[in-house]
């Protein structure tokens, strides 16, 4: 092993694909989510991975997560913040609790995880931190403001972290996922639109791995991925 890869916000789609790709790349993988429902079977499937449940908006949980990862596999080489929350509602109906929840998961969690990763990586002078964005990182659509507010903030966090930490050897990248990721809930849509109309989780995971492999002289800060059917 050459260090740990910590993935926060693991579900059955992109998060799981990232875990499989990072394990194939030789990293000790730590998968994390609030519930064990997905992460325990995934860790068992991979074999060399461990599952650590955590609430990304809890400072104590995040610190415990990184401590568990360091104990199992050593300091983090690659950290991905993949968590997000979305409650689609009209601005006329949304409650402060809705806004606060989405912002805390979308942005505060990114800060807590990013800070923990940065502290470990700056000490070593190397590492990669990837923050998962969305179309809503770039524009706020009607009834999507609960998602956009957190994603806009996460993008700003990535920009600020990159400018501060890049000179200290830490690569920060923000990935805009512009489109729907293929999964069981989108099988009908996939059939209607045709081949490669939805984002393949394994293909996105390969892109994340390539970001981690980039030479320091040609680091990418922001990258967008989308299927051919998306208008942009």
In a domain, 230, yes or no: no
For residue 225, is it left (φ>0), alpha (ψ between -120 and 50) or beta? beta
Given a contact cutoff of 8 angstroms between Cβ atoms, the answer to whether 180 and 193 are in contact is no
pLDDT tens per residue, range 40-97: 999 999 999 999 999 999 999 999 999 999 999 999 999 999 998 878 888 898 899 9
pLDDT of residue 194: 73
In a domain, 139, yes or no: yes
pLDDT of residue 231: 84
pLDDT of residue 146: 85
* Confidence check: pLDDT of 183 > 80: no
Tell me the whole-structure pTM to 2 decimals: 0.93
Residue predicted with more confidence, 186 or 179:
179
pLDDT tens per residue, range 186-212: 666 666 777 788 899 999 999 999 999
In a domain, 110, yes or no: yes
pLDDT of residue 86: 78
* Confidence check: pLDDT of 107 > 80: yes
Residue 88's domain comprises: 4-225
91 SS3 class: coil
* Confidence check: pLDDT of 184 > 80: no
CATH number at residue 202: 3.40.50.720
Given a contact cutoff of 8 angstroms between Cβ atoms, the answer to whether 146 and 97 are in contact is no
Question: Which burial class, exposed, middle or buried, applies to 163 when counting CB atoms under 10 A from its CB (0-12, 13-18, 19+)?
Answer: exposed
pLDDT tens per residue, range 129-156: 999 999 888 888 898 888 899 999 999 9
User: In the numeric block, which tokens belong to residue 127?
Assistant: 């590492």
pLDDT of residue 14: 94
* Confidence check: pLDDT of 1 > 60: no
In a domain, 207, yes or no: yes
Domain count, the chain: 1
In a domain, 232, yes or no: no
In a domain, 231, yes or no: no
């Amino acid at each position: 092993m050459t260090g740990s890869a910590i993935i926060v916000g693991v579900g059955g789609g992109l998060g799981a694909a990232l875990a499989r790709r990072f394990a194939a790349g030789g990293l000790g993988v730590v998968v994390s989510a609030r519930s064990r429902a997905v992460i325990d079977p995934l860790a068992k499937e991979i074999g060399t991975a461990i599952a650590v449940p955590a609430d990304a908006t809890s400072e104590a949980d995040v610190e415990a997560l990184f401590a568990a990862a360091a104990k199992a596999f050593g300091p983090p080489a690659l950290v991905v913040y993949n968590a997000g929350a979305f409650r689609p509602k009209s601005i006329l109906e949304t409650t402060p609790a809705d806004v606060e929840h989405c912002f805390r998961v979308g942005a505060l969690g990114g800060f807590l995880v990013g800070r923990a990763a940065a502290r470990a990586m700056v000490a070593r002078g190397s590492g990669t931190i990837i923050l998962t964005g969305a179309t809503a990182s770039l524009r706020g659509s009607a009834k999507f403001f609960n998602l956009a507010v957190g994603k806009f903030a996460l993008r700003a966090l990535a920009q600020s972290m990159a400018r501060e930490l890049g000179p200290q050897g830490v690569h920060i990248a923000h990935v805009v996922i512009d489109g729907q990721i293929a999964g069981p809930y989108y099988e009908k849509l996939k059939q209607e639109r045709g081949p490669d109309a939805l984002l393949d989780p394994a293909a996105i995971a390969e892109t994340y791995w390539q970001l981690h492999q980039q030479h320091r002289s040609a680091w990418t800060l922001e990258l967008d991925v989308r299927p051919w059917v998306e208008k942009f």
